[in-house]
Amino acid sequence: MELSFRFLILTLPDFFQGETDIANRLFADGLQRLHLRKPEATKVQTAEWIEQIEPQYRSRIVVHDHHDLACRYGLGGIHLNSRNTEVPEWFSRKDFTLSRSCHTIEETERYHPTFDYLFLSPIFDSISKQGYKAAFPREELADAKARGLLDNVFALGGVTFGNLREVVEDMGFAGGAIMGGFWNEPVPLPTLA
């Protein structure tokens, strides 16, 4: 799958007033992928959040939990993580993207061929998680880049619009997954030519 976007945004783990209004504006401004990550949310809460998103934008949402909501609402994909480790039986690659969280280069090597894209974290010190420090020496990332292991990997952890060009052009990632770098101070979406 050719990735047509260089960054995506993850939601904050907790709900807040006006969040879906911001998400709808992001989509209207051209955001291609938003990862809906609410680890403590019930299925009903997650569904209610999705229902507040304009129907024409729902195919740009990837859900981290309650994967069956992807079918109900025509979402863009599902994401596997430590809470949800297995691909559901109903899943179809022609209908949804499949992504996964990784925390080692070995994981990216193992999952590289079978997922549309991966997250690798933490690349920089986290903005949203206190004490979550960068875990990869630049030499290790340069080796992974040289081996072609980052071409479908999104850097996560401390990624901002300010360091996105470095993440893509210098480090060799497919793009950046941004959470605290956006939600701490929502700004207009940049373009990355």
Containing structural domain, residue 128: 7-179
Count of domains forming the chain? 1
The pLDDT of residue 193: 34
Q: Does 114 map to a domain?
A: yes
| CATH number of the domain within which 158 lies | 3.20.20.70
The pLDDT of residue 93: 82
Find the angle CA(45)-CA(118)-CA(15) to the nearest 5 degrees.
20
The pLDDT of residue 149: 94
For 74-137, where are the alpha helices, taking DSSP H only?
105-111
Ranges of the chain with pLDDT below 70:
1-4, 129, 186-193
Q: Does 191 map to a domain?
A: no
- Cα separation, 193 vs 183, in Å, equals 23
